[in-house]
Amino acid sequence: MCTRVIWPDANGSVLVGRNMDFHKDLMTNLWKQPRGVKRDDGVEGELTWTSKYGSVIAAAFDIISVDGLNEAGLAGHVLWLAESTYGTYDGSRTALSQAIWLQYFLDNFATVADAVAWVEETDVQVVQMDDPTGGTPPTIHLALDDATGDSAIIEYIDGHPKVYHDPSYRVMTNSPTSTSSSSWSRRSVDSAATNPCRVPPSPPIDSPARRTTSNVSPSRTPSSRPSPRSSASSVTPRNPSASRTRANRMRRRPSGRRSRI
């Protein structure tokens, strides 16, 4: 199961982690997306823009951006959601291909609030792409988070976006939808936990819940300074060939439609 989690109060920083549990190799590569790149919606080309923010993204099959972070601190994460229904393409609505969905937010917005405002204003339609391996077309939802710890989950049900926007949405997994997850949580957990995506804040580091007391007497407390030998032995030399391999991967340039991620 794919999962995205946020730790918004990590000693003054916001930490976000995700895993990608999938039944096949997604041929993931990392790409640097600079400012000033012109793109379109990947559908009919009606929506065009020039990227305002640079970003680093992880791409599946070098076609779709599935994870990324832009220079303003906005990040996005694509996960599978089998219940997604995108509706029939409507040419009168603003639309984005699934392949460019996340990248649009990374290119244009610095905060979750700005991204959510645009979704609610445009009622943007997400258009399903074909599975590049010939399997089931992707059914996905999107999590956004930013440098302030704000968070949003965007899902498509009956062809329209359902937005769950609140900093307390710290966890997103796969099925069911966030609405169904909320109902299940209220039935099965304490009434205070009204959504499995909502996680109570950690207790302060100096609270009784986080403090521990040592039974070691002061006279027997070991020195906190490591010996020179133990310090040196703990250093793992860097593998220069691995670094060169990573650098070579980053220098590869996509061709054709791949350059539009």
Active site residue 197: no
CA 259/CA 261 separation, integer angstroms = 6
How many CB atoms are located within 10 Å of the residue 172 CB?
27
Sheet holding 171-172: strands in order across?
Answer: 13-19, 3-10, 171-172
The residue annotated as part of the active site, out of 1, 2, 131, 206, is 2
β pairing state of 125-127 and 95-97: parallel
Integer angstrom CA distances of residue 69 from 143, 175, 260: 12, 24, 17
Are the CB atoms for 38 and 108 separated by under 8 Å? Answer: no
Integer angstrom CA distances of residue 233 from 226, 230, 237, 241: 11, 5, 10, 22
199 CB-near residues (< 8 Å, 6+ apart): 168, 170, 171
CA 87/CA 93 separation, integer angstroms = 12
214 CB-near residues (< 8 Å, 6+ apart): 221
Would you name the residues annotated as active-site residues? 2
